[in-house]
Each structure stands twice: as C-alpha cells, then as structure tokens.
Structure 1
Amino acid sequence: MSRFFLWALLLLAFTGQAAWKKVYSFDRDWLVYQEAWKSFLPYVSSKHYAYHSKSLEIHPGDFPKAYLAIYPSENYHLFLQGTLFKTLRKGEVYRIPMDSLAKEDKLVLTVYLEDLQGLPSDFKVERDEKVVVAEKADFFSLQTRSGAPFSNFFLLSILSLMTCLGLLFAAYPRVFTSFYRYSDWIRWEVKDEVWMRRPFALPNVLVLFTLSLLTSCLAYLVGFKTIQKDEFFSNGDNFVALWPSLFFIFSKLGLSFLLFISRYFVYYLFTDLFKLKGLANVHYFKSLQTNLQFFTLLFASICFYAVYVGPSKSIDFSSVLYLVDGYFLFRFVYFFQSFQRSFSFPRLFLFIYLLIIEGQIILFGIRELIFPTYI
C-alpha cells in the first residue's frame, strides 16, 4: 500500500493541467473613430461613452502562441478591418488564435452595438499554459497559489502598519492620542499642541511615514482588487516573486511622503499670501490628523471586505472614490469652521485659501495616488 502511494505522488509530481493565463488586458487601449479627423482617437469616457462602436488596434506579432479571449457582456457585432467577422453572444467565451491573425502587422478590431454604453467587456490576451504541481523532480515543492500575493500583502502590510503605530504609541503616547482623537470632529476646535509648532519633529515624521505607508498599501489593495487594472497589475509575472510588489509599495510610499512634506510648504506659501499668520503649522497638523484617522478606517474596512469576498473576486471601487471625495468636502467645512473659531481671520480670505488648497488635494493629491485607474 505504501508503495502505491509513493508511485501516486511521483505521478502527480509531473502532472499538470491546462489553464488560461492572462497575458495582457486591453482596458486602456480602446479607440473611437472620428469622422472629422478620418482617424482613430483614444477613448475618453466623458466624450465617447455613448458611441455605438469602439475599436482596438492589435499587433498579433507581439503575442505569439496566444489567443484573443473575448467574454462578451452583451450581444456584440465584431468587425475585423471594417468587415463583419462574427456575432458575439452574451455569456459565451470566444478565443481567436493570434497566430491566425499574424498575416497583418496591425489589425483594427471594432465592436458595434446599437445601445453600447461605455466600453465593451471583456477583451484580453491569454495563453494556454500548464500549471505544474511540482518542479524539478521535487514532488513536495508545490507551485505558489494565485491567492498567495493576496495573503502575503495582508500579512506584511498589517504587520508593518501595526509596527509603526506601536512604535508611535510606545515612544510618544500623547502624540498618538492627539492624532487619533476622533472627538475633534465633534468639537470642531483646534487644541494647541506642542508638536504643532515643529512640523518636522521626530514624532510628526513617524506619523508622516505611517500615513505614507497606509496610502501605498491602499493603492496596492485597490490595484489588486480593481476591475480597471493598470499595467503593473495586468502583468502576472509581477506576482511570481515578492520584489516587484515591494517595489510598487515603496515607490508609492516615497511619492506619498514627498507629497505630504511638500504640502507644508504649500500651506506656508499660501497662508503668507493670504495674510493668515500662524495657520500653516495648524493646518498641516490637522491635515495629517484627519487623513490618518479617515484612511485608517477606510483601509480596515476595505481589508475586511476584501478578505470576505476572497482573492479571486474584483471589487468596484467607484463608490469608495465617492466616499473619499465626500470626506474631503466635509473636511473643507470642518477646517473652515474650526479655523474660524480658533483664529480671527477674515472669513473671505480663509474661505478662498481653503478652497484653493483643499481643491488641489481632490484634483492632484492623495486621491490620485490611491485611485489612479479611476481618475
């Protein structure tokens, strides 16, 4: 009996099963034909959402031994080089060998539907590859599961964030308490804190680093779970090893850190311009405090939901984006009322100052770092 199990394990060690692996996604490659220009232009949702036809420019030679995979969500008419090629039925899966299209260097594929709204879905390039259970005659070395990056992310991100917050709480308990004092949202007042007067003191820098790490982790989680994936998350090779994901997170962390530091100099410049003396340090502190409080709750909520739905299910973050916009709008009102109570500034100057500064965040700030695919 033991000999039977040994031979069974050896057989499984060299046995694989066919699986379709996504090589490329065309989410950002869609074009629309403009009659006035007699050419194709990039698809812009605000201008071309209701166009009846959308097109793709495909170079079959770039994807040898691959297939154009189509998962239609509606009944589409598919045109190839302007000629009707096939009628696609909703719910079915179609795969066209790229090698069969390689006679042309460039092909224009057009999807037509009379009631087409937005982009048709879903068009990818896939390869039929073997998912090997074991490698190099070692039948105990199993291949990494597809959910491994998902699990590793939660383990490393939560441990890193808990380490930063634990260090802040152990070394500077009063600073930790002040930054996580949610009662300030109810009182709408500014308490005079010693560390407000030194924006780049060590505890503030630690808070700045923690907030930057939180931002980068949110950006990775949104990219990993979103439907509209960018180039990094569309490439499955980036998840074979840990280093590409770490590089992505640390690059976002560095951008966030520079963004938050530069905000202080922007505050200082504009408060001096609007004659709002003494507001720069307070605004900088309150900005860090509110962002840390809100994005901690947001990250925790998204993490719980992502764990609940599992690693294979995508999440539509458009509603979360509206929540973030709502937070920044409410924060504008909160800052205006709080600063008005604590300082004797002209209301008009304070209003215009906050309108400019807080508006920059919605258009060019932390929101774009976390949700680049929705901008």
Structure 2
Amino acid sequence: MPTVLSRYWFGFLLLWLGLSAFAQDSPRTNGVGPAGRYYPVRDFREDFLVYDDAARAYIPYIAEQHADETALSAYIDLESNRHYQLLISTRQSGYLFINAALRRKLPAGQWLVLSIDSLYRVYRQPEIFLTLYGAPGLEDKRLFIGYPKSATQKPVVLRDDNLSVRPRKFSVYDNFLGLGLLFLLATHAFLFTFYHRAFLRFYSLRDLLSLRAEEDSFLINRPLSSTNILFILNLSFIVAYLILFVQSRNFDVFASRRLLADQRLSLLIGEFFLLSGISFITLVGKYVALEILGGLYKLQGIINVHFFKVLQSSMLFFTLLTLALIIIAYNTAGTSWSESVLLLPLVVFYTARLALLYVVIRSMEPIKNLYLFSYLCIVELIPLIVGLRFAL
C-alpha cells in the first residue's frame, strides 16, 4: 500500500514540476512585446486564418496542412479591446496588411506596437482584418493584444486555466441607425396622418413627372407655409441620417474629422440634429437664392414651381435611397463599400433632375434657352460640380 501511494505522489510531483516549467516559459508569465514589457491579453496563435482557393473563403490555420502558407490573417476586435496595444513581430522580414491594404514593412525580429484606440479612431470599425505576410509557417509570426506593465505594479501571474470573459460585440452606429429609422418612421407617420393631401402630393412620382404644374396649388403658391416647412424639416432629417449612415461605412464626409469623430450614442444623436439643422437652413437658403436669381432673370413666375419640384424630387429620391442602402447594409454585412456605390446614384439623380427642371420651366415660360440654361447652371449644376470636386 505505501508503495502504491508513493507512486501516486511521485507521479503528481512530476506533473506539478512539468506544469511549473511550462508556466515559467509561458508568455503569460514572462510578458510579451519589446523586452517583455506587456501583459498578454490575447494570443492569436490559435486564431490565424488562411485563404483556401477551393472553398474561396478563409479557414482556420492547420499546421499539418498549411505549413507552407506565407500569409496568415486574423480578425482583430477593436471595440472590445480599447486601451490595449496590438503587438506584432516576425522572425524574418514581412509585411503588414490591414483590411487588404498594405500598411508597412515588418523588420525581422522587431516588435511593432500599435495602439488599438488609434486604430479604432482611424478605421471607425468595431473589427479589422489583419494579415501578416512573410516567411512560411506559424513560428515566424507572433500577434498579441497586450497591456503595458507598470513600473510600480506588483507582478501578476496569469495561468492558462483562467476563463476569458468578454462583453458582447455591439456597434454604437448600429444602435443609432436603428433608433434613427424608428424616428424617421414616426415623422413620416405623423405627416401622413395629419397632412395626408400634402404627403400624397409630395410622394407622387406621377405628379413629379407631370409638366403642367398647378401654380395656384396650396403647396406651390405658399412655399414657406407651415405645411411646407414641416416637409422641408422631414427632408432634412433624411439627409442627416444618410450622412451618418455613410460615415458608419468608414467614409469621411467631412475632411477635418472634427465632426462625427466620437461614436458615443448621445453625441451621435446631437450630431444628427445638428446636421438636420444645417440641411434645413441650406434648403430654405436655396429658396432665397432662387428668389434673387429669379428676379435677375425675370423668372418670378416659375420660382415657386422650381422650388416645389426640387423638394418633391429630393423627398422621393432620398427616401428610396435610404431604404435601399439600409436593406443592402443589413443583408450584406461583410460587403465592402466603394465611393462609386454612393456617388453614382447622386450624379444620376441630379443630372435627371436638371433635365426635368429644364423641360418644366421651358414649357411654362417663353424664355430664351441661353437665359434658362444660365439660370439652371447657377442654381443646380454649379453646386453639383463643386460638391463632386470636394467629394473626390
């Protein structure tokens, strides 16, 4: 009996010594990064992916099958790892790609430390796709999320049997976009209920394409009436929502990045109403500009019709564009967006609207083509050209 117990104790002692030796060599104990100055929060050694030509998709890295692969990829969760650092190293010279774009060369044997907060501000995405290209094999590449050690902090020993508990992934933009849709639905329901005739008139494609506008209509002869003001305000809400939607797809609407730089829900709501106010002032200001130019070109009789057609076409187009983009976004979450997807519909719409306005005004006023074309260029074409110049 003592012999059996002695064997058990001896086996337990060997197991404990083996685990102790492994723990001493583990990066969780010694630290990672330059001079081991970072506590490892996550090691991506078991999370690397490789592209499989047969499946046409990324699959988990398997050492027995992918030992010759030179490009290893991984998804980096930025939103759940704020205030941490991304640690990258390759034993031989390699290259770093982020979202399929080459970012920098990786010198052999040197650590690259990237702030996850900075990556989050630059890419404005909850997750990025990172690829390390270099020598084949898993041993050549090291990728960690780490936290810097403090000089005054006592050593903390992390064992490999700890559970990793992470918060659920969520996007502040997704929350706002959902709330924004409910808000737009409520405003449209309000206008449909209390201003039913005007709603049917504004959202009538048949009325838009009609060349005979009723100048004495209650919507045309009073362009800044309370009814029209409410519909202009609703259009402003739609435009502001579209701007924030485009921003959520990592397209910088404003080059300075001072606006829409923070993704907290309360600030996004505030910026939504700020953008709505700017859009509303712009639309009302356009009517004032039409009045001034109409007086110069002696076209006072068509100013109200022109402004009504502008509002009517904009409401139809931007409402349909919003619905289309939302449907595409929620059904193709992994699809990358390009500028042409967003700019092409706008160019087509403004070109078609310019042609429609020309035909409508030409049928109403016996005016020389040169005057009419100059008038439309100033109020419609030149703002479009300037906008595209800054967009591109």
1:360 to 382, 385, 391: 382
Distance in 1 separating the partners of 2:259 and 2:380: 30
Residue 316 (structure 1) aligned with residue 376 (structure 2): no
User: Any stretches of 5+ residues in structure 1 without a counterpart?
Assistant: 1-15, 21-63, 79-84, 88-93, 100-120, 131-140
Check if 1:220 corresponds to 2:236. Answer: no
Deviation readout 1:77-124 (Å, 9 max, x if unpaired): 84xxxxxx749xxxxxx971269xxxxxxxxxxxxxxxxxxxxx999x
Counterpart position of 1:71: 97
2:201 matched to 1:201? no
1:351 to 364, 370, 373: 373
Q: CA RMSD in A?
A: 3.8
Residues 242-291 of structure 1: CA distance to partner in whole angstroms, max 9, x if unpaired? 11211221121111011101001110011111111222211111111110
Structure 2 contact 85–113 (Cα < 8 Å) conserved: yes
Match of 1:42 in 2: none
User: Which residue of 1 is the match for residue 347 of structure 2?
Assistant: 325
Structure 1 CA distance for aligned equivalents of residues 368 and 130 of structure 2: 54
- Would you say the 8 A contact 1:161–1:213 is kept in 2? yes
Task: Between 261-270 and 277-286, report the one with greater CA deviation.
Answer: 277-286
Equivalent in 207, 211, 217 of residue 235 of structure 2: 211
TM-score, length-normalised on structure 2? 0.58
- Whether 1:336 and 2:358 are equivalent positions in the alignment is yes
When residues 254 and 19 of structure 1 are mapped into structure 2, their CA distance, relative to the original with a 3 A threshold, is farther
Distance 1:161 1:95, change over 3 A: farther
Identity of aligned residues (%): 22
CA 221–272 in structure 1, closer or farther in 2 if over 3 Å, else same: same
Mapped to 1, the partners of 2:224 and 2:172 lie a distance apart of: 38
Contiguous gaps of at least 5 residues in structure 2: 1-39, 45-82, 89-95, 116-128, 132-142, 148-164
**Deviation sequence 1:309-329 (CA, Å, 0-9, x none):** 22x654223232022011101
Q: Deviations over 1:121-162 (max 9, x none)?
A: 999xx99478xxxxxxxxxx9846333531x23322222112
- Structure 1 residue 194: deviation in Å? 1.7
- Give CA deviations for 1:153-176 in whole Å, capped at 9, x if unaligned: 332222211221122121221111
1:279 aligns with 2:302: yes
The 8 Å contact of residues 65 and 127 in structure 1, kept in 2 or not, is answered as no
CA spacing shift, 1:342–1:305, aligned 2, 3 Å:
same
The residue aligned with 2:186 is: 163
In the TM superposition, structure 1's runs of 4+ consecutive aligned residues that sit over 6 Å from their partners are 74-77
Counterparts of residues 1-375 of structure 1 (less than 5 Å)? 18=42, 66=85, 70-71=96-97, 73=100, 78=105, 86=107, 96-97=112-113, 128=145, 143=167, 145-150=169-174, 152-192=175-215, 193-226=217-250, 231=257, 238-239=262-263, 241-310=264-333, 314-364=336-386, 374-375=391-392
**Distance in 2 between the 1:265 and 1:326 partners?**
26
Distance 1:273 1:245, change over 3 A: same
Does structure 2 retain, via aligned residues, the 8 Å contact 1:185–1:334? no
| 1:199 match: secondary structure | coil
Is contact 2:358–2:372 with CA below 8 Å preserved after alignment?
yes
- Return the alpha-carbon distance in structure 1 between the equivalents of residues 268 and 364 of structure 2: 44
Distance 1:228 1:144 in 2: 27
On the 8 A contact 1:189/1:339 being kept in 2, the answer is no
Q: Give deviations 1:46-75, integer Å, cap 9, x for gaps.
A: xxxxxxxxxxxxxxxxxx974598416477
Q: Which residue of structure 1 lines up, in the alignment, with residue 48 of structure 2? A: none
- Counterpart residue identity of residue 284, structure 1: F
Matched residue count: 263
* Contact 1:188–1:338 (Cα < 8 Å) also in 2: yes
Which one-letter code corresponds to 1:221 in the other structure?
A: F
